Amino acid sequence: MTSKHAHFAIDFYGKICANKKKAKLVFDAIIEIWQGKKVKNVLNKYLPLTKGLPGYPLEYILIALKWILDQEDINFVGRPQEKQEELNNLFRKLRIDIPDKRKGSQLAIAIFCELLGTHPVEALLKANIDVAPRRRR
């Protein structure tokens, strides 16, 4: 199974339900990775503060998301200006600095931002990610 940012979004929502303060620290760690900080340094900073959360371990989250977000940037071909303005406004509202040359991964990061106050299905739909149940074969 290939990890996708949607898997991590659902895991993040579970962390929010378990402990909102610690989940916010996981969010902060994800943002720091997105902004270019080294996984090892971010992990050392946040691992002791997020112990006891359910779901994926922080190390797995940070390493996998770094790869996924980098891939999103490589594959990015553009988005409508209206959607870009919506993302810019969301990041501005949360006081998140957008790193240079990270347009492709902005949508994935926006899902995590939305999850701070939205149900995961709504956040995924807002990002245009298909959440239809799998059909039986």
pLDDT of residue 137: 47
Mind giving me the DSSP string for 30-62? Answer: HHHHHTT--HHHHHHHHTTTSTT-SSS-HHHHH
List the chain residues with pLDDT less than 70: 1-3, 5, 121, 127-137
Residue 33 near residue 62, CB atoms below 8 Å: yes
Mind giving me the DSSP string for 92-136? Answer: HHTT-PPPTT-HHHHHHHHHHHHHTTS-HHHHHHHTT---PPPPP
- Locate 118 and state its tokens: 């939205």
pTM: 0.87
Contacts of 105 (CB under 8 A, 6+ apart): 34, 68, 69, 70, 72, 73, 76
pLDDT tens per residue, range 73-92: 999 999 999 999 999 999 99
pLDDT of residue 133: 54
